[in-house]
């Protein structure tokens, strides 16, 4: 509740700038209780203020602690916690909710046979491994109601095929998520295996967004090394995705949205006059 109050101030500021605030809801699973990047690497033990992480099975992420296997009752608690987080987010004023089911966090851990070796209703078949994802989506949708967009982030592949999580499984999971109440699949990849060989390059994950969009017949967003406005515009104009998610480019340039608008000729008057001379070098 204290966090919701703190976030409400940020949401109010975002809305005051004419933008819409969305929030990503996540459970780190077996990748939890780690040092901040600038404080070191690896697991933080209980003696140092950390805790034993949890996961679908007692399969650790490389270099981290062995997780405690969640019981069915604890899995139900996780679903309830996602619902409670969604409710608090809405109370804080967020207008878009995204369920994080990618990058080796808890939902992805249940999806992937590399991290989920259970033999109960939560493991084995694809339908069983996708059960947590779908239960969470339904719970979040129930809190959101019919009008709040609910996105789901999925890793399209573990980059270890055929034994890992694959694009074909992602396509099926996306279709099920659509039935459960998801409006859009935010398509990324990897994160569940430390030593995966990933061919990183400009727009390298865009084909995944396109493939999921076609198979599930639903909107997708593309992510990953999409660094300029014309590249993003081409992805959408060509029908490969319905939206583009950018992160690092906003870290490099907090005025990226204004620069992109100017580059595409849709917002030349958005910059305050006193700032225009300072941005001339970045203008097309």
Catalytic machinery residues: 105
CB atoms within 10 A of CB 265: 9
List CB contacts of 149: < 8 A, sequence separation 6 or more.
22, 95, 96, 97, 183, 184
**Residue 219 to residues 133, 237, 272: CA-CA distances in angstroms?**
18, 14, 34
| Element holding 263 (H helix, E strand) | helix 256-263
């Amino acid at each position: 509740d204290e966090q919701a109050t703190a976030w409400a101030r940020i949401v109010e500021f975002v809305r005051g700038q004419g933008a819409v605030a969305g929030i990503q809801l996540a459970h780190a699973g077996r990748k939890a209780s780690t040092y901040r990047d600038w404080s070191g690497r690896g697991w933080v033990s209980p003696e140092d203020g950390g805790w034993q992480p949890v996961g679908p099975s007692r399969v650790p992420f490389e270099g981290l602690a062995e997780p405690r296997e969640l019981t069915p009752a604890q899995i139900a608690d996780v679903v309830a916690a996602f619902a409670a987080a969604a409710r608090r987010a809405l109370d804080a004023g967020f207008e878009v909710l995204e369920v994080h089911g990618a990058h080796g966090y808890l939902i992805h851990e249940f999806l992937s046979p590399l991290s989920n070796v259970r033999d109960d209703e939560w493991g084995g078949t694809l339908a069983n491994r996708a059960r947590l994802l779908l239960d969470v989506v339904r719970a979040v949708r129930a809190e959101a109601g019919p009008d709040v967009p609910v996105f789901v982030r999925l890793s399209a592949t573990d980059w270890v095929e055929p034994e890992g999580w694959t694009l074909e499984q992602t396509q099926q999971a996306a279709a099920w998520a659509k039935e459960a109440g998801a409006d859009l699949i935010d398509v990324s990849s990897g994160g569940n295996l430390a030593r995966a060989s990933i061919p990183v390059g400009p727009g390298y994950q865009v084909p995944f967004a396109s493939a999921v969009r076609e198979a599930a017949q639903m909107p997708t967003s593309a992510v990953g090394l999409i660094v300029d406005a014309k590249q993003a515009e081409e992805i959408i104009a060509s029908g490969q995705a319905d939206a583009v998610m950018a992160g690092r480019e906003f870290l490099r340039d907090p005025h990226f949205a204004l620069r992109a608008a100017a580059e595409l000729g849709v917002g030349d008057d958005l910059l305050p006059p006193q700032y225009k001379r300072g941005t001339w070098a970045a203008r097309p």
